[in-house]
Amino acid sequence: MERVLTNLRLVTLSSETSANNNGYQIIEDGMVGITNGKIMFVGSASDSPLACHNDLHGHPDVIDCGNALVTPGLIDCHTHLIFAGNRANEFEQRLNGMPYEEIAKRGGGIVSTVQATREATEDELYQLAIKRLDGLKRDGVTTIEIKSGYGLTLDDELKMLRVARRIGDMSDIKVSTTLLAAHAVPPEYKNRADDYIDYVCQHIIPAAVEQGLADYVDVFCEGIGFSTQQCQRVFETAKDYGLGIKGHTEQLSNLGGSALAARMGATSVDHIEHLDHDGVAALAANDTVATLLPGAYYFLRETQRPPIEHLRKLQVPMAISTDFNPGTSPIASLRTMMNMACTFFRLTPEECLRGVTCNAAQALGLEASRGKISVGMEADLALWDIDTPAELSYRLGVPDLIARIVDGEIFDAK
């Protein structure tokens, strides 16, 4: 082994089932052995081959972690991290009494973000995004999903995805990319949504695939977005090109987009405040993750909560994510989302931890390699100066993170 971490309390989450409450699976006085960025040994120090035989072949780097609590590195599985501009002015205008229609008439709303993003260079978008990313890293995030969706032209969507891939080239963060060209009807296609979907399917998806820029394709299935028929066309095209699919579904109304996405093989459906029992059954039948986005629920002051009890009953895995975006969730803190999932949705702290680790990994199709601490997994970990895992959901604003470990490399939080 190249590196051995000792004196740990390991929150392994290593149970094989995908339900939301199987215990934290904690190992006290734990030890982790790492080779080539992968976990080669997990156990208590007394079980370790090193402890038994004092066998330090290859002189591994042994690090005493001072009884730190260790979780899998956190995974933020739904973000819109890349965009230019800022909607704080709209936030202020609304709180000063200006109606949304007036703000939209003055060029506000998503159109303002699209315009600013189109005008920005890749370098500008990159610099803006890595500052936001720092907030997530402070919460122990080691993997992040990043969506396009503010370009809405072939060139601008690919520009956003190139920036996302460039962020993934950093050694201390892993990025999954998602093409969200079907985010909104761009101004050039006003009242011609079907024509825009043709453009997405015939030009943008093929180009993103050809250039290796997208892992997933996403849609906004909603009255103010795209119909289930339009979303189905996008999903069919994505699948023809070998891409995974996921959806923004049942956020504001119940159109059946979640069930459609699940039946077509989506790894996750996201938001789902208005999901009905048939929709939950479709997720359960297709092993689709329900991704909860409490930041948007909070920021929009929603009152309709996702069907948590029914998701639990049918053992649908729940993920939690920031949905970081300028319009409805400008909050770059995954731990804040864990806290909100507890306070608003009544999730348990254990469900929240699974929601930002193993279940978030499943939402990205990465459950075989990330999200738990077990042999064979990638060595992505977060070391915390806390006593119990519940503190991750309980407390906000205290810098509890000691370090993140990505592929076995240590990145100190300070």
Return d(Cα 28, Cα 258) in angstroms, integer.
40
87 assigned binding-site residue: yes
CB-wise, 323 or 367, nearer to Fe ion? 323
Stretch that binds Fe ion, among 123-131, 299-307, 316-324, 366-374 (CB under 5 A): 316-324
251 assigned binding-site residue: yes
* 222 sits near Fe ion (criterion: CB under 5 A): no
354 assigned binding-site residue: no
203 assigned binding-site residue: no
Shortest Cβ 296–Fe ion spacing (Å)? 7
Candidates 45, 47, 46; CA nearest to 31 is 45
327 assigned binding-site residue: yes
CB-wise, 199 or 297, nearer to Fe ion? 297
Candidates 183, 74, 170, 165; CA nearest to 125 is 165
Stretch that binds Fe ion, among 32-40, 87-95, 307-315, 319-327 (CB under 5 A): 319-327
**Residue whose tokens read 């077509």:** 264
Residue 64 neighbours by CB distance under 10 Å: 11
301 assigned binding-site residue: no
Return d(Cα 164, Cα 81) in angstroms, integer.
9
Six token digits for residue 340: 């909100």
Amino acid at 214: A
Backbone phi and psi for residue 371, each to the nearest 5 degrees, phi listed first = 100, -5
Shortest Cβ 197–Fe ion spacing (Å)? 19
Residue 63 neighbours by CB distance under 10 Å: 16
CB-wise, 139 or 323, nearer to Fe ion? 323
Backbone phi and psi for residue 141, each to the nearest 5 degrees, phi listed first = -75, 130
Q: Which of 139, 215, 222, 323 binds Fe ion (CB under 5 A)?
A: 323
Residues touching Fe ion, count (CB under 5 A): 1
Stretch that binds Fe ion, among 1-9, 120-128, 318-326, 355-363 (CB under 5 A): 318-326
CA distances from 91 to 54, 106, 157, 184 (A): 61, 14, 26, 20
387 assigned binding-site residue: no
Q: Residues in the site for Fe ion, rule: CB under 5 A?
A: 323
Binding residues for N-formimidoyl-L-glutamate: 150, 325, 327
Binding residues for 4-imidazolone-5-propanoate: 87, 150, 183, 251, 328
